Every structure is written in C-alpha cells, then in structure tokens.
Structure 1
Amino acid sequence: MTRVRVLPGLSANGYARHALHDVDALWVEKNCYVDVLIELLHTLGLEPLALLGSTATVDFDGDGFTFYKPDHEDLRAFYGVDIQELNVWRPLLDHAVHHLGDGKFLITEANAFWLPDTSGTDYRRHHVKTTIVIADVDVDARRLGYFHNAGYFELDGEDFDRTFRAMPPTPDAVALPLFAEVVRVDRRRTSGPQELAAMARERLRVHLARRPRTNPVARFQAHFEAYLPTMQERGLPHYHAWAFATTRQLGASMELLARHLEWLARITPSVPLDEAAAQFLQLSATAKAFVLKAARAVNGKRPFDDTGTFGAMSDAWSRSMTQLAAEIGS
C-alpha cells in the first residue's frame, strides 16, 4: 500500500472552509499555524471558535507581535486532541507514511515555493517558510493532501519531491531536519455547546491573567515611529515583511478574540461580552486600514503622523481588556 490517509473522505474538491476563513473575514488568513488548526478541527467536526481565548495574551515583543498559536493544553481539554513534537530522525516522508498509517496527522514546516495553493504570491516565486498539516500521502503517485492557510489542497510531482526534500538540491547531508509535530486524534471527543463554553470561559480567565501588563499598542506606536525611516530606506519588500510580523498579527489576533467572545455570548447570553467583542473587532479593522496607509508613507518616503489611528487602537485595547477582565475575572 503506497497511499496512507487519515480521513478517507477528505478531498480538496468541494472542500468547505470554516466561517473564520470566509471571504468576508477582515483577515481571511491569520497566521499559518492557527489557520491549519482551525481547518483541521473543523474537518474533524470540532468547534475551533472555542480555542481562541489564548489570543488575549498577544503582546508586542519589541520587533513584532506574538506569533500566536492555539494553546495545546486547551486542545487536550476541549477536544482530546494532543500535539507533540516529532523527533525527525529519518526522512520526513517516512515519518508521514508511518504516522498517517497509524491514524495521526503531521504538522510540519514547508516551503511555500512548492505549494500551489499560494499561486499568485509565493508559488514558484519566493522561498518562504510556512506550516502545513499532512493528511494524505500517495508515495507512488507522488501526491500530497494537506491543510494550509484557509483550506485543504493537493499537490503532486516535483512539488511533492521538493516538499519532502526527496531530491537535490537539498541533500540530507547539509539540510537541517524540518520541524514537525504529531497530532493524535484517537482520543478526540465532541462536547455539547454548553459544556464546551464553560470550559472555554474558565480557560479564558487563565489566559486573561497572562495578558500584557502594559498597553501593547502604545509600545507598537513608539516602535513604528522610530522604525519608519529605516523602512522608507529599505523599501516596500522590507515593509511588507515588517507588517506581517506586526500589524497583521495584531489585527488578525484581535479578530479571532472578537469571534471567540461572540461565540461565548451566543452560548451563554447571561455573560455580556458583545461590547468587548465589538471593540476588538474595530481594533482589527483599524489595523487592516493602517497596513495600506503605512505602505503609502513608506513608498512615498514622506513624514507620517497617524496618532489618531494608534490612539483609537490603543483605547480599544484598554477598554476591552478592562471590561473583559471584569466580566470573566482574572
């Protein structure tokens, strides 16, 4: 048998993505790690909206916002899904065949240059590290089914060989092993909405206790103002890399936190969370608008003062976190 797959009915044709990745979302793609877990849980019949409370901990770290990942303890508590690092001691393809055959998924680093779902951006254009979930491997046909960003896709041929480093110019003697994780789903469980919301609310209290001690948007503003001349000197490619690490992570994480609170409010309407959710959603929308405004300032190499935008985002973060802590407790 050369084909191994965890979910035999899964296909890229007609795949229906989760609503978090709807075309009307503020940020259709959030970051590569949280995106693939949203779609994996969705495909397993589990509700990923419960998992997003850990976005309350997102902070500005001096040169970027937290590249947030769903909390693995939450995954185990809510769904019985367990993620552990894989010791990559042999070719990744060998690991994939073994673990998929055992009913497990693999999360692994990949080069977007060889992922056809990134056509128009990185595919066959830029070598960019990203994350995929391997769900279906056919060794003889050289075909791979994988979750990436906002959906489920397939690749084959040279893309298969390069993704698994099965051919030069990346000989095993000099290439570092790809980082990978094993996703065990044999103990997965589906909880009712009320039970899941109760667990999520308790975990949100834990995450809120770890929220930034000072306003991260205010610190982000100081960084932007000091760093703007450097970005103007280095140009738009450098700016776009900066924006992905900063403004996108801020905006996308706050959209996810807002959707998490909206979900909690629907399940437990006695807890007033809608106002905080609306504030976080407005912060996210403001961050998205700022991406384009700052790009014009970088490209035009002109002075740029947008204290109003930063002030609005900063105030929204402070008000929402204060209200949320009062309602949930932390």
Structure 2
Amino acid sequence: MNTGAAPLVISADGPRPHPVHDGDRIWPETNCYIDLWVELLHALGRDPVPAFACALSADHDGGQWTFLKVTQEDLRRLYGLEVTEENVWMPLVDTVESGPARQLLHTVEVDSWWLPDTAGTDYHHNHVKTTIVPVRFDREQRQLTYIHNSGTHSLAGDDFAGIFGLGDSPRSGLLPYVEQIRWFPDRQEPDVLLPIVREHLSRRAPGNPIDRLAGDVRSAVGWLPDAGMETFHLWAFATLRQCGATAELAADLSSHLGADLAPGAAEAAPCFLDVARGAKAVQFKMARAARGRTVEVDDLLTAMGRAWTRGVDIVAESVAV
C-alpha cells in the first residue's frame, strides 16, 4: 500500500547508545518516553538533541514535575515523522507484525515484567507500564528486538508470549496504547529549531517551576517518613528525577544552540547542569528524610531556582524572545 511514507529502516543490532545515556551523565536515564525517542532518533540517524526544546516549557504542577514528552508537532517539523495513535482492532501480535508492510514503526505500551533489559528492577519482579519500539519481529521463533530505555535489546520465548499475551501468559483485558510512526521527508521544515524553541519558551507557566517543586519537597519532609521507601521512590521519580533530567536535557539543547544557531545560548548550559546536580543532591537528602533523618534542603532548592531562572533567561535572550 502506497501511503506516500518513506521506509523507516533500523539495524537489528542498533547503534551504540546515544551520549545522553552515557554512564557519566548526572541522570543517565530520564523517563521511558524521552529515552525511547532519544534512541529511536539516534537509530534512524537523526540528532535527537533538537527535540529537547520541550524541556523549556516544563513545569511543576503542585503534584509532580512535567513527564517530559517530545510533541508530535515537533517531531513532524524537525524530522518529518508523523506520530498518531493506532486503532488496535487486531490482536497486538498481528498489529506489530503488520508494521513493515505498512512502512511504519510502532510504539507499544507493555509490561516491564517481560523486558530483560530491566533485570535487577522490574524484569519478572514488578508489573510496570513502559513503552517500546519493536524493531525486528520473528513470530515463528518467538523473538523480538526492541528499543527501550537506553538502547536496543532482545527478548524471546516466554517473554515474547508475555508481551503479546499469547498462550497461557496472563494479560489484562485492556488493549495497550499503541502509536504508529511514519516518515514523510517533505514534511520536515528547514531552519525550524529556533521557532520551536521560541514557542516552548512562550508556553512557560508564570513564575519559576523550581519554586513550585520546592514547596512540594518541603511538604514531603513532613509526610515521607510515614509513607515508606516504596512511596519515596515513586515520589522522587515524579518530582526530582524528572526535574533533574529535564534540566540536563536543557543543558544539551543550550550547547547545541550555542554551537551555531544562537551565540550565547551555550552559557545557559552550566546553569541547567547546576539544577540537574542540585536535584540529585536533594533526592539523596530526601531519601534520608524518608528514613526519619533530619535534613536541610532550603539552600539547595533556592540555588536551583536561581540557576533555572538564569538558564532560561540566557536561552530566551539568545533566541531573541
């Protein structure tokens, strides 16, 4: 079937993980969706850093930091990639198998229980929702190569059956959320990164998101000791990890802009890295608080707030907002 889309080809072996996932990063992983797109764009031979413009419109809403996602509009304008929801009317295994003939890739919401790359955390231990992109599919051999988190991985056998709910493998009656990805090269817009950066800056919430995060953290000092460490990890992921990872991505974007498009933007990178380091330091302190220890986080949070404001102001000035 000719839809006008160009083929999307990814090597089954996959490239080395993108530098965003280097072990010496402050936050080597961000969230499952951003990590997925970093490695997918990298595997497709595209630079994922321009997609980090979404970091500039992140916020804290009083309960959590923005779960960062690259917008569908940004993907189309930057890379010519169209992302839409798949109407899953066939069995999931048939839907994924149909992708190559339809010249598309899928993102698929799955259970981490069946993903070997999560060994040591969720693999055969916890039922946790996450998203993968199947790259190579062998139904007969029950083998799947997929992109997830920081790279390209493989699974087989019972894990294949589990992902797709085959045989006696338990599966919820709810259909997973699935997206289709198609490539239309002519829809990629030239010289579009600066306008996208300006648009994200224009969508910032009033005030400073770090100040709102700080209020959440100070409140948590009081209730975390009674909540248990499992709740601490869930809370920290939704707040401090997302803040820190967002800031580190904003530093990458700032360096990218400053290298060519917006002289001066690179000066924002150290500010955002200070936020990323500060978030990790506060997270360590809050782990102590969750165990009933007395901690002081005000100075760190104040410094993070100032660094975020300075970083965003530098980027805004460099792109003439």
Quickly name the TM-score band, shorter chain normalised: over 0.9
| 1:156-235 alignment runs, 5 A limit | 156-168=156-168, 170=170, 175-185=173-183, 187-188=184-185, 198-235=191-228
CA contact (8 A) 1:46 1:190 kept: no
Partner Cα separation in structure 1 for residue 238 and residue 278 of structure 2:
16
1:319 maps onto 2:310 in alignment: yes
Q: CA deviation at 1:321?
A: 1.8
Deviations 1:57-107 (A, max 9, x none): 110012110101012111111111111011112211111111233221110
Map of 1:278 onto structure 2: 270
Partner Cα separation in structure 2 for residue 167 and residue 214 of structure 1:
53
Q: Which stretch shifts more, 319-328 or 198-207?
A: 319-328
Identical residues among aligned pairs (%): 35
Partner Cα separation in structure 1 for residue 64 and residue 78 of structure 2:
29
Q: CA deviation at 1:190?
A: 11
Q: CA deviation at 1:305?
A: 2.5
**3-state secondary structure, aligned to 1:284:** helix
Rate the CA distance shift 1:8–1:46 in 2: closer, same or farther, 3 A: closer
Partner Cα separation in structure 2 for residue 136 and residue 100 of structure 1:
9
Partner Cα separation in structure 1 for residue 64 and residue 101 of structure 2:
39
Structure 2 unaligned spans of 5+: 1-6
Partner Cα separation in structure 1 for residue 214 and residue 282 of structure 2:
12
Partner amino acid, structure 1, of 2:312? M
Partner Cα separation in structure 2 for residue 131 and residue 283 of structure 1:
27
Partner Cα separation in structure 2 for residue 274 and residue 7 of structure 1:
33
Map of 1:47 onto structure 2: 47
Map of 1:135 onto structure 2: 135
Partner Cα separation in structure 1 for residue 60 and residue 281 of structure 2:
19
Map of 1:105 onto structure 2: 105
**3-state secondary structure, aligned to 1:59:** coil
> TM-score if structure 2 supplies the norm length?
0.93
Partner amino acid, structure 2, of 1:290? V
RMSD: 1.9
Partner Cα separation in structure 2 for residue 6 and residue 46 of structure 1:
12
| 1:49-68 alignment runs, 5 A limit | 49-68=49-68
| Number of positions where the alignment pairs a residue of Structure 1 with one of Structure 2 | 315
Q: CA deviation at 1:161?
A: 0.7
Q: CA deviation at 1:169?
A: 5.1
Partner Cα separation in structure 2 for residue 230 and residue 271 of structure 1:
45
CA contact (8 A) 1:79 1:189 kept: no
CA contact (8 A) 2:10 2:43 kept: no
